[in-house]
A and B are shown apart, each in its own frame.
Chain A
Amino acid sequence: MKINTIRLFGLLAAVFALVFSNNALACASCIETGTTGVHAEKYDQLMGWYLLIGGIVSLLVYAWFTWLLYKFRASEGSQDPEDAPKLGEIPKHRGDPKWTWFVTVAIFAILMGLTAGTINMVEFYENPEEGWGDGPLTVQVTAHRYYWEFEYPNGNKTYDNLIVPINTIVILEVTTDDVWHNFAVPSLRLKIDAIPHQTNVIWFDAPDVGEYPISCMELCGSDHTDMTGNLILVEPEVYENGIDEDFA
């Protein structure tokens, strides 16, 4: 009796832990602050679908798994099933192809639905025309060990802080002077690799004034930790006035 209680408690605790971690998936990105921009909006929508469907599927699996463990646990005096494994015997075939096909087709259908959303989103990231604002304004981004260099259309440069106007389509042409880096602005759901001798392009269009952290998200050497910066979004007038003087 006592042992069974402990077992039941263990099972419940395990289920609770798994549901808790499942819940964490659903809460992913819930601690992020200062979200802005058209990418973030679309991204969060797509991620919402993935989370919802992933959450439902895994909870169903856990419910079924737990029920099986509880229902078919050995109890005192219960007999081995007739087809229990016996030494030296090849186990009989067990299983029904129709269930396997059902699982395959069901997962395939769900995935293809989600994939349609993904492909839309990939195309969106490729097409700056989908932004609504003025522009485009093109900024050259060059990564160095261990700082960022931003060069604006008029030739001015800033370091670590990228200053651009709101409600403008901004195109970033990202490259590096030395090793691989990765230019990331989590609040805007932006990320692109900075690769030697290659220019990668990414764009954004954001409506909220503020400071948004920039990180390097690829290991680039011993001071990788310090390679941070800020995306500073300002009113267009501020940008026009500031960029002529030395903004940095």
Chain B
Amino acid sequence: MNILENKTLNRWLTTTNHKDVGLMYFFATLLFGFIGLLLSLLIRIQLYQPNNGTAWLDWAPGDDAGAFYNSMVTMHGAVMVLFFVSPLSFAFANYVVPLQIGAKDMAFPRLNALSFWTFLFGGLVAASGFVFGGAADVGWTFYSPLTSLEYSPGNGVNLAGAGLVLLIISVTASTINFIVTILYHRQKNMDIWDMPMFTWTMLFTVILMLTIFPILLAALLMLVGDRLFETVFFIDENRGSILWGHLFWFFGHPEVYVVLLPELGMLAEIVPVFARKPLYGKRYIIYSLIVGTVLSVIVWVHHMFITGIDPLLREVMSVTTELISIPFAVIMICLIATLYDGKITFPTANLFALGAIGIFVIGGVTGVFLSSAAIDYHLRGTYYLVAHFHYTLGAVTLGVVAAVYYWYPLMFGRILDERLGKLHFWGSFFGTILTMTPLFYLTDMPRRIYVYGANEHELVWGDYHFWATIGAFVVFVAQLIFLYNLIRSYSHGREAGSNPWNGSTQEWGSE
């Protein structure tokens, strides 16, 4: 039988419907998420005790254990941020935003399908390095000249670069699509101030993405030039190396807000529904989002405090970085204040949302420490930093998973099993805390080393890494429960009806 005559396959390969595209994003990001999770487990196994040999690293492709470890940390970071958390938000955005604003579909449905397919192949190309002789092993920051042909002759950097270029094509098409859809395809009677919060945050997200991803594209094209056509943008003696730093972080810092903003929108949808009260200070949240979005593009030098740049610039960027904590603190306070006078119930979706707020407070406060140039001198490049950004990104992931529980009934008509869901939540919540809290103590341990314990002091690090590894396994088991729940509830879940959570936004009234 001709495979192209297969109706199901044909449908999914050619669909342009926003719900179908959203579902495909959903499954693809889950795949990437599990790849990222497995990489993190391998990292944790390697670090669980001092002087751990490299035995298991040795079956790696190539004969270089260090390079393989480096490629794992690189791909874990790149896959989790660029191909898991952010696109998972886009899965919901594709599915929910047109419904929330009463649009028939995205403004450009075919472009939307193109976005998905370039995203999928981008991710596969970037990860394919593991099969083709070694994935990129230069850290997700891609600092030049480590990425130059001289120091990284392999295919890994080329493949990761190609994957990222595909991702940027996808993102650019997607951002234009969302901006046009949200601004011009709302139903006639919906004022922009009446838009639901998730749509609002997606609007800011895509505007921010459209601002920063072209910079990364430019930087990547220059890097490709350096590697393939003998240009010298980033290996030039006149500050070529630091040029990469600026270009990368001009993209790289706002990228974390690209990841964060949709999650804040999800929390702002979920918390009011389960507190049975309107969102506190919706307008203040929107103003804060405007301020936060603008500030996010003028803080990037805090990643470069110790590159020897002008002290005045360091002080200015310290201040802007501390200021950016204000709008996000206001948003968190408003989310918590929403609970006041409510009638709070605790289904799994709300547990994940509240857990995300709880974890985010720690991530945010430690971020304020790191915003200080002086304190960053000591903590930069250590496990303290690792713990900080895993707390923030951990909170983001909990928030996005809350959205999975919240919108699964909309997408599949059934409610995810609550009993399994609660196991999943408590495992993820305590697992995250157990994994990341011990790492706060390791303020003198460098990131990205795969063996430690050369002296008595380094042996102490082992106690902390041991608990972190236990925590990582708790998280992993919880995610297996989640996977089982996703599959089982598809056929066995409780029927959801049209509005299982008593939500107020329009997607619950649609067919």
Contacts and interface: CB of A to CB of B under 8 A. Distances in A.
Interface residues of A, number: 105
Contact of A95 (B235, B283, B326): B283
A27 B332 CA distance: 25
A65 to B, nearest CB: 5
A219 B168 CA distance: 25
Nearest to B291: A104
Contacts of B314: 122
Contact of A111 (B66, B279, B311, B323): B323
A72 B342 contact: yes
Interface in B137-161: 137-139, 143, 145-146, 151
A237 interface: no
B378 A54 contact: no
B272 A91 contact: yes
A79 interface: yes
B211 interface: no
B109 interface: no
Contacts of B67: 221-222
A209 interface: no
A213 interface: yes
B8 interface: no
Contacts of A29: 443
A219 B448 contact: yes
A186 B381 CA distance: 11
A53 to B, nearest CB: 9
A65 B354 CA distance: 9
Contact of B443 (A32, A95, A119): A32
Interface string A54-98: 100110011011001100111000111101111111111111010
B2 interface: no
A184 B378 CA distance: 8
Contacts of B502: 84-87
Given A61-B336, A224-B448, A118 B151 contact: no
A180 B143 contact: yes
A219 B66 CA distance: 11
B151 A54 contact: no
Interface stretch (B31-39, B169-177, B357-365): B357-365
A114 B509 contact: no
A195 B358 contact: no
Interface string B434-454: 001110111110111111101
A30 interface: yes
A223 interface: yes
Contact of B433 (A18, A58, A107, A201): A18
B238 interface: yes
A221 B145 CA distance: 11
B511 to A, nearest CB: 13
B323 A50 contact: no
Given A83-B278, A111-B368, A179-B151, A97 B362 contact: no
A198 B239 contact: yes
A216 interface: yes
Nearest to B434: A17
B334 interface: yes
A191 B306 contact: yes
A247 interface: no
Interface stretch (B252-260, B343-351, B400-408): B343-351
A132 interface: no
B373 A201 contact: no
B188 interface: no
Contact of A74 (B237, B345, B444): B345
Interface string A186-218: 110111110111111100000000000101111
B273 interface: yes
B59 interface: no
Interface string B220-236: 00000000000000010
B343 A72 contact: yes
Given A31-B460, A74-B345, A213 B455 contact: yes
Interface string B127-143: 00000000001110001
Given A91-B272, A219-B143, A122 B374 contact: yes
B361 A89 contact: no
B172 to A, nearest CB: 29
Interface string A28-42: 111111100000000
Contact of B446 (A30, A90, A91, A184): A184
A124 B314 CA distance: 13
A115 interface: yes
B382 interface: yes
A91 B215 CA distance: 39
Contacts of A224: 66, 70, 446, 448-449
Contacts of B440: 21, 24-25, 27-28
Contacts of B358: 14, 18, 62, 65
Contacts of B336: 61, 64-65, 68
B333 A89 contact: no
26 contacts: A7-B346, A14-B429, A18-B361, A21-B437, A27-B441, A28-B384, A28-B441, A29-B443, A30-B441, A32-B444, A33-B457, A43-B378, A58-B362, A65-B357, A68-B340, A85-B273, A85-B276, A87-B499, A87-B503, A88-B504, A91-B279, A93-B283, A100-B334, A117-B374, A180-B146, A219-B146
Given A46-B372, A83-B277, A225-B451, 5 more contacts: A29-B443, A126-B311, A192-B308, A198-B242, A218-B143
Interface of A: 7, 10, 13-14, 17-18, 20-22, 24-25, 27-34, 43, 46-47, 50-51, 54, 57-58, 61-62, 64-65, 68-69, 72-74, 78-81, 83-95, 97, 99-100, 103-104, 107-108, 111, 114-115, 117-119, 121-126, 145, 178-180, 182, 184, 186-187, 189-193, 195-201, 213, 215-225, 228
- List the 6 shortest-distance A-B pairs measured between CB atoms, nearest first: A95-B281, A186-B444, A217-B381, A121-B374, A85-B504, A222-B66
